[in-house]
Amino acid sequence: MEFEIWMLLGIPLFFALGWIAARVDIKQLLSESRTLPRGYFRGLNFLLNEQPDKAIDAFIDIVKLDPETVEMHFALGNLFRRRGEIERAIRVHQNLLSRPDLPADEKAHGQYELGMDYLKAGLLDRAEETFNLLLETSYGAQARRALLEIYQREKEWPRAIEAALGLQESGAGARQKEIAQFYCELAQDALVHMHTDDALALLDKALHADRKNVRATLLTGDAQLVKGDAEGALVTWRRVEQQSVPHVALVAQRLMDGYRKVGRPQEGVNLLRSYLAEASSIDLIEVVFKAVIELDGVDAAKQLMIEELRRNPTLLGLDKLLEARLMDAPADVWEELSMVKNLVRGYTQKLARYQCSHCGFKARQFYWQCPGCSRWETYPPRRTEELNVMN
């Protein structure tokens, strides 16, 4: 290719055009920055320096001087809500919604934020009313999630089921586990009032929603037992092993009581010992230990605990072994063993907790819904000491 002299002359021209474009961009940026209120930069600076009180004061000044600043209303309302100043957050969002010229999308946003204010304040009726207005807007999915939370708080399980189904249909993710738990809540209430047929129908819906729902299986067996079908209850409870092996600890006492009821306690002990060999659990050990003492004697119970401690050394297991030894300990060592057992028991009481895998909330009893974070099925069916040993 031959070199053309005009190409060399074009280089300064390209540099000049680039310089002009940059100057235009800088002038545009400076022009836009001058239109922003000075208080905006002051408030931003306070936020960056972790001075939220001064930032709020600066943003309030902006809203007073320029009521048209929609985004500033949202920012200010959220700041108030995070700080727990719910009344001020509500006033900010109500003031914004009172504007007749507010675009539809901004109005929906404002209603959603107002609904969240009501929810945070515990004004559930107002929150529900506000979120219902948003179901056919772009905030429909967020509104349904909030409504689902409200119905769970109020224990309105039929409406919670409806809201969860609405979320699924809107493409906001599967809610099968939650729906199954809602049916279980309804079934448990029916069982309390001795409406066993209604309970069984609800539990069938729960298992249709989530075939692996252990709670529904446990309650189905309970309902069958209430109706006098102990054999059917035993068959149902044994299905827990197919759903989740670790959860057999939760059904162990039911199984043992059921086998006693039908006159086959030894069969129950043998079944639970097979579960213990497959998935050791402190709760399962508790049930097996008592049954072995009752049917096979103290020596058999001691041997059981020695074998378990060899497989899974835990303080809770040691506590059971000491309990068995105390039952036939000679008088001269009984007091010493009792002191050791009391010392071990003091430590085990701190370890005998279930712990939510989401928020870490600890509890002495097993919960299907965490009291701390309200999530469903976040409690592993094992005590914290077992989880620490496994990890």
User: Angle, nearest 10°, between helix axes 52-65 and 38-48?
Assistant: 160
**167 with 117, same domain?**
yes
**236 with 188, same domain?**
yes
Domain that holds residue 199: 174-243
**158 with 220, same domain?**
no
Task: Summarize pLDDT for 201-226 with one digit per residue, the tens.
Answer: 999 999 999 999 999 999 999 999 99
Among the ranges given (33-42, 173-182, 263-272, 336-345), the one the predictor scored with the smallest mean pLDDT: 33-42
Inside any domain, residue 119: yes
Residue 64 pLDDT grade (very low, low, confident, very high; cuts 50, 70, 90): very low
Task: Flag whether 356 is marked binding.
Answer: yes
Tokens 């204010």 -> residue: 117
Inside any domain, residue 3: no
Inside any domain, residue 44: no
Mean pLDDT of all residues belonging to the chain: 80
Task: Flag whether 359 is marked binding.
Answer: yes
Q: Which of the residue ranges 92-106, 269-283, 346-360 has the most confident prediction, judged by mean pLDDT?
A: 269-283
**166 with 194, same domain?**
no
Closest residue by Cα to residue 134 from 120, 122, 118: 118
For 73-79, the CB contacts below 8 A with 24+ separation are: 73/110, 74/109, 74/110, 74/113, 77/113, 77/117, 78/113, 79/52, 79/55
Which of 172, 194, 226 finishes a domain?
172
**Beta bridge mates, 376:** 369
Residue 262 tokens, joined: 């039908």
Residue 276 pLDDT grade (very low, low, confident, very high; cuts 50, 70, 90): confident
Residue 182 has pLDDT above 90, yes or no: yes
Residue 104 has pLDDT above 90, yes or no: no
Separation of alpha carbons 8 and 175, rounded Å: 68
**162 with 210, same domain?**
no
For the domain that residue 102 is a member of, what is the CATH number?
Answer: 1.25.40.10
Inside any domain, residue 348: no
Tell me the mean pLDDT in the region 228-253.
94
Separation of alpha carbons 16 and 14, rounded Å: 5
Residue 63 tokens, joined: 């809203």
C-alpha distances (whole Å) from 165 to each of 155, 162, 169, 356 are 17, 5, 6, 26
Residue 143 has pLDDT above 80, yes or no: yes
Q: Determine which helix (DSSP H) or strand (DSSP E) holds 39, and give its type and residue range.
A: helix 38-48
The number of angstroms, rounded, from the C-alpha of 166 to the middle of its chain's C-alpha atoms is 20
**108 with 190, same domain?**
no
Tokens 């020596």 -> residue: 299
Task: Flag whether 373 is marked binding.
Answer: yes
Tell me the mean pLDDT in the region 295-300.
88
**209 with 126, same domain?**
no
**106 with 154, same domain?**
yes
Residue 127 tokens, joined: 């929150």
Number of domains in the chain: 3
pTM of the predicted model as reported, rounded to 2 decimal places: 0.75
**140 with 192, same domain?**
no
Question: How many Cα atoms are found within 13 Å in the side-chain-facing hemisphere of 200?
Answer: 14
Query: What's the helix, strand, coil split of the chain in %, to 5?
Result: 75, 0, 25
76 or 64, higher pLDDT: 76
Residue 33 pLDDT grade (very low, low, confident, very high; cuts 50, 70, 90): very low
Which of 123, 139, 172 finishes a domain?
172
Which of 215, 243, 271 finishes a domain?
243
Task: Summarize pLDDT for 2-28 with one digit per residue, the tens.
Answer: 445 544 444 454 455 454 444 444 344
**178 with 196, same domain?**
yes
Q: Where are the beta strands (DSSP E) in the chain?
A: 354-355, 362-363
